[in-house]
Chains A and B, each alone.
With several copies, the nearest count.
Chain A
Amino acid sequence: MSIKVLYFASLREEIGRGADVIDFPPEETSSSLSVEQLWINSTGQQSFPDNLLVAVNQEYTNPQALLADGDEVAFFPPVTGG
């Protein structure tokens, strides 16, 4: 399963890149992969920060949401537009 991961704003700068494409071998995701697991896997961090926002396929979701092949997952800090 292949997931596109995006990072924005201060998070992008901290991580040092704006995007990852992560391919999981079928045996690693035989059951299900959550947003939180993806975060840990893609960033190497221990846990999902409290104020981190996440969107799957451009819609807000939560760290427990499960992912499917081809999903676009975006992680970002609190928004500050307007």
Chain B
Amino acid sequence: MDSLRKIIIVDSPFDPLQLQSEYQTESMRGQTNYGATANFVGTMRDFNEGDDVQSMTLEHYPAMTEKQLNLIVDEATEKWPLQNTLIVHRVGEIFPAESIVLVAVWSAHRGAAFDACRFIMEDLKHKAPFWKKEALTTGADRWVEENTKGY
């Protein structure tokens, strides 16, 4: 099944629901065949591993990032009948309560939408070339060494 997707890397604050809404308007206007949309928004917290975090810097590998995210969407599309996928990921310096990532998936049925959204999110966390460096309120910097478990 041919699946549409849009992958956006942004280096300034973004409104995930606004972008999802715009994408739906521009890409699915007049479409009445999707019944299920599942999304996930990751937001920067002000704590991690017991410490207060003041800001974070998200580094990535630009040439690889979109390529890898496209591979992940390809794989999801092979597993589930998806109609559209939108991925937005922030890079650069970011502050608590700002959005880090949006994954939104459109499908005819809810099972596929839920499964695919979660699959893409987990794969993104484990394969997409992004790295977080936290600036603690103590003044110290540290690289996040691994992601928390998603299941």
Instruction: Determine whether A and B are in direct contact in the complex, meaning some CB atoms lie less than 8 angstroms apart.
Output: yes
Q: Which residues of A contact B (CB under 8 A)?
A: 6, 8-10, 13, 55, 58-60, 72, 74, 76-82
- Chain B residues, Cβ within 8 Å of A79: 125-131, 147
Q: Which residues of B from 108 to 151 have beta carbons under 8 Å from A?
A: 121, 124-133, 143-147
User: Could you say which of A58, A76, A78, A81 has the most chain B C-beta atoms within 10 Å of its C-beta?
Assistant: A81
Q: Given A60-B127, A79-B125, A81-B124, are A6 and B61 neighbors across the interface (CB < 8 Å)?
A: yes
Bound-complex Cα distance A13 to B16 (A): 32
Bound-complex Cα distance A76 to B61 (A): 10
Output the nearest chain A residue to B62 by Cβ-Cβ distance. A58
Which of B64, B143, B147 interacts with A82 by CB under 8 Å?
Answer: B147
Determine if B124 and A82 form an interchain contact, defined as CB atoms under 8 angstroms apart.
yes
Which of A6, A8, A81 interacts with B128 by CB under 8 Å?
Answer: A81
B38 at the interface (CB under 8 A from A): no
Which of B101, B133, B146 interacts with A9 by CB under 8 Å?
Answer: B133
Determine if B64 and A77 form an interchain contact, defined as CB atoms under 8 angstroms apart.
no
- Chain B residues, Cβ within 8 Å of A13: 143
Bound-complex Cα distance A78 to B144 (A): 9
B76 at the interface (CB under 8 A from A): no
Q: A8-B129, A9-B131 are in contact. List 13 more A-B contacts (CB 8 A).
A: A8-B59, A55-B129, A58-B63, A76-B129, A77-B131, A79-B127, A79-B131, A81-B89, A81-B101, A81-B130, A82-B42, A82-B100, A82-B130
Q: Given A6-B61, A8-B59, A9-B133, are A77 and B145 neighbors across the interface (CB < 8 Å)?
A: yes
Bound-complex Cα distance A8 to B101 (A): 20
- Chain A residues, Cβ within 8 Å of B130: 79-82
Q: Given A10-B143, A74-B61, A74-B64, are A82 and B101 neighbors across the interface (CB < 8 Å)?
A: yes
Output the nearest chain B residue to A8 by Cβ-Cβ distance. B61
- Chain B residues, Cβ within 8 Å of A55: 61, 64, 129
Output the nearest chain B residue to A53 by Cβ-Cβ distance. B129
Output the nearest chain B residue to A58 by Cβ-Cβ distance. B64
Bound-complex Cα distance A6 to B101 (A): 25
